[in-house]
Amino acid sequence: MTAPTTDAAPSGNDGAPLGQNPGHALHTPVITWFDEHARDLPWRRPEAGPWGVMVSEFMLQQTPVNRVLPVYEQWMARWPRPADLARESPGEAVRAWGRLGYPRRALRLHGAAVAIAERHGGDVPTDHAQLLALPGIGEYTAAAVASFAYGQRHAVLDTNVRRVLARAVTGVQYPPNATTAAERRLARALLPEDERTAARWAAASMELGALVCTAKNEACHRCPIAAQCAWRLAGKPEHAGPPRRGQTYAGTDRQVRGKLLAVLREAHAPVAQAVLDRVWHDPVQRARALDGLVADGLVEPLPGGLYRLPLT
């Protein structure tokens, strides 16, 4: 099924335009649903502050909430402010990251903490452009922190939001593999005009995608906008775009990298090459994974065939 262009205003289930703001008919039911069903997550509590929001956004990228929760709690107890993390070595950030995966995020979060301490007096900046200028902060994270921490009006497009908009408005099962300009235009067109409502809409639409409008086994009977969902009204046509990318792990370089890092995280002294050689049977793949960790700045080689987590 060909998606309609997003330059035209989306319409309601009767085919009529949704109004001056094309998302108006979506905002109230989704936000009302969120008010009742939102999960009580630590980064949503007032005491989390902007730094807690930023930490959660780094950790939640491609990682489910149940895996993030214990690491987040430990992280915030140890480093309640950016300056606390900035005083530590990057290797300590990698160590504390544990088995969340994609550990370069730990280095990027450490780099952002250093920049916040040096450029912004230790406070997470409120300005979207300043957030975007921090190391490791991309379009999504800057918008998410500005919205969730400071209640600003930004289009926050994660995988969950993109899926909700693809189905409810565009009428397709899944969004494209990578965020497109058309998706960004649509998300901006759907933003409530009021800043507080826009921030609430961002959180609510994300939660709807996480809990109800899921990638598989969507619960349309629990969806507050099922009656006007373009995909459901079209009979839920099967995905007609490029194949969805699956994530494999077993036997990949990612798995080997994880095993190598696990040894280094547990060690508080440099580790000999011979110890690292025991973690994986294929010497070529093992060497490639270790070289990749060194190139990414996650592992520091030392003279004498020793390795450690980075100190600088």
Active-site residues, by number, are 57
H or E stretch at 300 = strand 300-302
Q: Phi-psi bin for 305: left (phi > 0), alpha (psi -120 to 50), beta?
A: left
The CA dihedral of 176, 182, 183, 189, to the nearest 10 degrees, is: -160
d(CA 200, CA 32): 10
Q: What values do phi and psi take at 298, rounded to 5?
A: -85, -20
Dihedrals φ, ψ of 17, to 5°? -55, 150
Q: Is 308 helix (H, G, I), strand (E, B) or coil?
A: strand
**Dist CA 167 CA 204 (whole Å):** 16
Specify which residues 308 forms β-bridges with.
Answer: 300
Q: Alpha-carbon torsion 286, 288, 293, 299, what sign?
A: positive
